Structure 1
């Protein structure tokens, strides 16, 4: 299947490369794959986030017909897999746009961010405000890890530095969505739903796979896995394949250890990927009390900083949530390198790298690797 003209046009707009840092630390990949087995099971994942997980509101703005509440909480992923998130992403931020008068019930839709959607302005302007005005529905906008205030200092715009960053983002959003859905239930909001566009729609689909109750889901322009967009789709040309191939070639841990952790997910990714590469000419080598809305347990940003510092300074963050230990060393993704320099120039290296990419992506992003598919009332995709 050829590449669409829209894809070609979009690729020309990409000014920076994805995954310039490579695959990420091998030890981090191992921890992510192990943790995926937990969040991929609805019953096991449900026990990872306490029912009364603390959520804080620290600012409220009054507008004509609605209020905007700004809040935050510590991402559960920091408790469960310590150190896997960059320090900037540990604190999950959100905006809650609430109508002053409800038409019927107290419905809320959680909007997850699409690719390149930093901060809240786009979703607030194009989605949340019209929904308040036209349907009397509240919207909760969650900021994704690696975006906006949660973007690492060494990351350029929306270009994730490592492949592992995308996998961490997905795991964090699954848990953070669970926190918010439970908080909204405690506060008496109903019915609840989730939506998102592009990556946001896909992440919303992942999030509701682990919600134990029926929930409306509207994923727009999304798909069942993230692997295709990076191996054969719109972002494949933006991937820094040269660095990925180099690391895959000289570090034996990828094909000798990590590849063995990849599990079957409906389609054998490792066997399918070489066919994609062969058929696609475009891939050429190259203190914490829960507060109600409108209230705050502490004043100002000092309390937020104190809470984040407290979590980051503790090894397992306490609270009985400790799960996977912080990765020992492994700061250099090229640690344990192969001695044969000729490995970097073998003819099959590019196809092997694409195959490995598809396997890694499908392991942590393919819907078949998660619980039963969510109840969907409407879905649009770009296929």
Structure 2
């Protein structure tokens, strides 16, 4: 009975947080400027062409990723650790780059490494941002305890977030649906390029990619497309953004009224028709349509038992699509697990890397 009541409490914490953040409209909803017009049409067309060609074949054709040359400076260093920041031009193709806001065209990363340990003796994990995770600090705190085990942390600042946020956007509330697809496309290409740089130029040992929530979806895509073995660690992540925005609590923070009246919908569509269109567009982010990672046994999914943002069936769909992967359940909701289960996330990173 106590456990059951605790589970209910975790679930309702998600809904209380969601009510405060989304239903009270203390900040603008997601997609307050509509679908995104020609940008959305371009991204839909490009993505559907890639899917029709077969993503496994396309990922081979696009290997290796474009070379990047980050410019580094030291933020701080201690007796045992060093934190560096690097910048590089986003390696996206010209059409995607031109669709990005100018602020998002330059990528920023921070790299936390153990000091005086050669990179070839150091593992490194790229941490991708969840919804609302601006800057670097939260993910650096997640990775910092792993330094003593020679596991470095690379944190990528997402397009549309932090210093890469366009001036009219408030917080993480993307202005258009097209921005969500742009954010994902650029994040995936930048993460793939970083992993290739870490392997080829920096000479790190074992590599991994992880992320919480939205970052977990992107991590799963990166792990699927990368051509060398990685530890892949989607944390509190759905198999598709369609689940988050059409089934989970984020649906209450979405500007459905604006989307219903957007000219791209020929005006005046019903709510059900708009939701259906959203599902169709965001089905392009369905990770189960992507190739299986090179080492599915090094893929560990961590999910919450009472997540109000990510339904249980969505996590199970991803696990089924990757035979040999593991799913670990933590007790809690999305919000409480985000706060309370860092040790479980860190253990998943250790174990994923150890399996390579």
TM-score interval for Structure 1 and Structure 2 normalised by the shorter chain:
0.7 to 0.9
Question: What SS is found at the alignment partner of 1:30?
Answer: helix
Alpha-carbon distance between aligned partners in 2 of 1:106 and 1:56, rounded to the nearest angstrom: 19
Alpha-carbon distance between aligned partners in 1 of 2:254 and 2:134, rounded to the nearest angstrom: 20
Alpha-carbon distance between aligned partners in 2 of 1:238 and 1:152, rounded to the nearest angstrom: 20
Contact residue 238 and residue 244 of structure 2 kept, 8 A = no
Contact residue 204 and residue 219 of structure 1 kept, 8 A = yes
Task: Choose the corresponding residue for 2:142, options 114, 120, 127.
Answer: 127
Contact residue 52 and residue 183 of structure 1 kept, 8 A = no
Residues 1:380 and 2:302 are matched in the alignment: yes
Residues 1:230 and 2:250 are matched in the alignment: no
Q: Which structure dedicates a bigger proportion of its chain to strand?
A: 2
Alignment of 1:148-297 (within 5 A): 148-186=162-200, 187-247=202-262, 250-251=263-264, 254=265
Aligned to 1:117: 133
Residues 1:7 and 2:7 are matched in the alignment: no
Alpha-carbon distance between aligned partners in 2 of 1:78 and 1:92, rounded to the nearest angstrom: 14
Alpha-carbon distance between aligned partners in 1 of 2:258 and 2:95, rounded to the nearest angstrom: 30
Deviation at 1:150, TM superposition (A): 0.6
Aligned to 1:33: 44
Consecutive unaligned residues in structure 1, runs of 5 or more: 255-337
C-alpha spacing 1:166/1:370, structure 2 compared with 1 (3 Å) = same
Alpha-carbon distance between aligned partners in 2 of 1:74 and 1:35, rounded to the nearest angstrom: 21
Bigger Cα displacement from structure 2, 95-104 vs 219-228? 95-104
C-alpha spacing 1:88/1:46, structure 2 compared with 1 (3 Å) = farther
Alpha-carbon distance between aligned partners in 2 of 1:77 and 1:88, rounded to the nearest angstrom: 14
Consecutive unaligned residues in structure 2, runs of 5 or more: 1-7, 305-311, 313-356
Contact residue 56 and residue 72 of structure 1 kept, 8 A = yes
Residues 1:58 and 2:65 are matched in the alignment: no
Aligned to 2:333: none
C-alpha spacing 1:82/1:144, structure 2 compared with 1 (3 Å) = closer
Question: What SS is found at the alignment partner of 1:207?
Answer: helix
Q: Which has the higher contact order (CA 8 A, sep 6+)?
A: 1
Bigger Cα displacement from structure 2, 190-199 vs 37-46? 37-46
Aligned to 1:299: none
Deviation at 1:245, TM superposition (A): 0.6
Contact residue 121 and residue 205 of structure 2 kept, 8 A = yes
* Greater radius of gyration (CA): 1
Deviation at 1:208, TM superposition (A): 1.3
Q: TM-score, normalised by structure 2?
A: 0.74
Deviation at 1:201, TM superposition (A): 1.3
Contact residue 218 and residue 379 of structure 1 kept, 8 A = yes
Alignment RMSD: 2.3
Alpha-carbon distance between aligned partners in 1 of 2:111 and 2:280, rounded to the nearest angstrom: 37
Aligned to 2:122: 106
For residues 82-127 of structure 1, give each alpha carbon's deviation from its aligned partner in whole angstroms, at most 9, with x where no partner exists: 4111110000110011101439822101111111111111111x21
C-alpha spacing 1:34/1:373, structure 2 compared with 1 (3 Å) = farther
Contact residue 7 and residue 233 of structure 1 kept, 8 A = no
Contact residue 201 and residue 222 of structure 1 kept, 8 A = yes
Alpha-carbon distance between aligned partners in 2 of 1:213 and 1:171, rounded to the nearest angstrom: 20
Alpha-carbon distance between aligned partners in 2 of 1:158 and 1:64, rounded to the nearest angstrom: 36
Alpha-carbon distance between aligned partners in 2 of 1:59 and 1:201, rounded to the nearest angstrom: 28
Task: Choose the corresponding residue for 1:361, options 259, 282, 288.
Answer: 282
Alpha-carbon distance between aligned partners in 1 of 2:260 and 2:287, rounded to the nearest angstrom: 27
The aligned length equals: 284
